[in-house]
Amino acid sequence: GSSAMAAVRDVEIDPEGTFKYILVRLQRPGGGEQRDIVRGTKAAEFHNHIFEKVNPEMEKLGYECKCLGGGKIEHNSKDKKIRVFGLSTGYGKADHSVTVEILKKEYTDYEITWSDDKK
């Protein structure tokens, strides 16, 4: 069972720029294994656009999805820096410290910071 969960990437964000992101909890129906993933893209005008894309993909794999909140990510690939900040009007503010820990798994050589700043 865990192979399907392993196939889901921890992080899928745009390689550059400032964009909206959400923190999503995946869970097997009836409890069992769960994990949190980060998804963000400039293509999304609103946070729910990201969720509406992720949710059906994950349901196909047999997961229930819950959005734990959102914010913004500023990704500077040249300087290898990521800044997590802001919030989602619809979903509330994600726990950015959790997001940073997940990002660190993928971007091991980056400087990754977060704040509750709006901008």
Of residues 96, 87, 34, the one with CA closest to residue 65: 34
Q: Which residues are part of the catalytic machinery?
A: 47
CA distance 100 to 52: 23
Q: Classify residue 52 as exposed, middle or buried by CB count within 10 Å of its CB (0-12, 13-18, 19+).
A: exposed
Q: Is 20 annotated as a binding residue?
A: yes
CA distance 69 to 72: 11
Which amino acids are annotated as binding site, given as ranges?
20
Binding-site residues for substrate: 20
